[in-house]
Amino acid sequence: MLAPVDPPTNKKGISIVSEDVCQQTVGRPEAFTAVENVFAAMARGDAYNFPVVREAIGHADALYGFKSGFDRAGMSLGVKSGGYWPGNAAKGLTNHQSTIILFDPDTGQIKSIVGGNYLTAVRTAASSAVSIAHLARKDAKVLGMIGAGHQSTFQLRAAVEQRDFEKVLAWNPHPKNLVRLATVCAELGLPFEAVEREQLCAEADVIITITSAFEPLLRHEWIKPGTHIACMGTDTKGKQEVDPALLVAATLFTDEIAQSISIGEAQHAVASGALKAGDITSLGDVINGDHCGRSSAEEITLFDGTGVGLQDLAVASVAVQLADERKLSSKISL
């Protein structure tokens, strides 16, 4: 006799949302709102990230892991799974690979499977953009970009929408890669200059770092008063983009304090004893009006954007909702 069969996992079917459809549905404004809302929910205690798993799998030099969490306010429950496959570029693929799976918080049934590569880039750019919106001086005119990899153009496009920037300065260890940023600036009609790091710091009102560096690229004494810095590249133990003295001198904000001190830019200053977790404020507290954010035109503010799973779930939820509404998702049942 055959065993009784479970009913299908989800009566409405599981929504499959492709990378293409993510690009059609989640633009910068949608990502900004989703990320701002989830940072606010995290600071209120309505949303929390589960411990991150990340392992070298001992095959193809790959790092694989997952980030997950639950947002009670946005009703997003799920996991982003993926990692870094350094040999992919030679195969014509992106080295960073990710897929997001959402579950129904009421039943635990799978709701959707969403391409995570584009969403990772757009949600990371939204994170620094939210920090600029809430922390940079209103009269900021010069944007400085440190790094010119895959993420950098997403960062640039989202940042320039936050203030009336008149010029973009940029530095990268391999200057030829700066053409990426120069091309976006030409498209946006913004003057662009490739400069050395010290000059960039002397002129920029807002600086974004988005590199894979393992040593400080910016010195504390180079940064002028009133600058806002969004450190976005450090998301793993050992990585580092700026001088720890800069974190001690700045007013510090982050997406999640636990990640900031363990895998974020603050890990080094905390390890040396120069900084404590209590010195760092959640950006969500500023969004919720529980912290004033920048308190003077001279203050240096620094946002340690470590990248949390809830950001991925937030943008994936928007992609699924809009894709279903516009009949752009495909459906399957398990």
Which residues are known catalytic residues? 80
3-state secondary structure (DSSP) of residue 295: coil
Span of 30-38, 104-112, 161-169, 299-307 interacting with ligand NAD by CB under 6 A: 299-307
27, 29, 86, 173: which one binds ligand NAD (CB under 6 A): 173
* Shortest Å distance, C-beta 133 to ligand NAD: 17
151, 162, 267, 281: which one binds ligand NAD (CB under 6 A): 151
Cross-strand pairs, 69? 49, 78
Tell me, by CB under 6 A, how many residues bind ligand NAD.
25
3-state secondary structure (DSSP) of residue 128: helix
Q: Which of residues 96-115 bind ligand NAD (CB under 6 A)?
A: 96
Cross-strand pairs, 214? 240
Q: Strands 228-231 and 251-254, how do they pair?
A: unpaired
Q: Strands 228-231 and 206-209, how do they pair?
A: parallel
15, 68, 211, 267: which one binds ligand NAD (CB under 6 A): 211
Specify the residue, 210 or 286, whose C-beta has the smaller distance to ligand NAD: 210
d(CA 186, CA 160): 13
Span of 42-50, 110-118, 166-174, 271-279 interacting with ligand NAD by CB under 6 A: 166-174
Span of 5-13, 55-63, 173-181, 198-206 interacting with ligand NAD by CB under 6 A: 173-181
Check binding of 131 to ligand NAD (CB under 6 A): no
Half-sphere exposure of 228 (CA within 13 A, CB side): 30
Question: 330 is written with which tokens?
Answer: 């495909």
Check binding of 147 to ligand NAD (CB under 6 A): yes
Q: What crossing angle do the helices spanning 309-325 and 28-44 adopt, rounded to 10°?
A: 130
Check binding of 176 to ligand NAD (CB under 6 A): no
Selection from 217, 207, 215 nearest residue 305 by Cα: 207
Radius of gyration of the chain (CA): 20
150, 157, 167, 220: which one binds ligand NAD (CB under 6 A): 150
Question: 186 is written with which tokens?
Answer: 């030409």
Applying CB under 6 A, the residues found at the interface with ligand NAD are 96, 120, 124, 147-152, 172-174, 177, 210-214, 217, 232-233, 235, 305-307
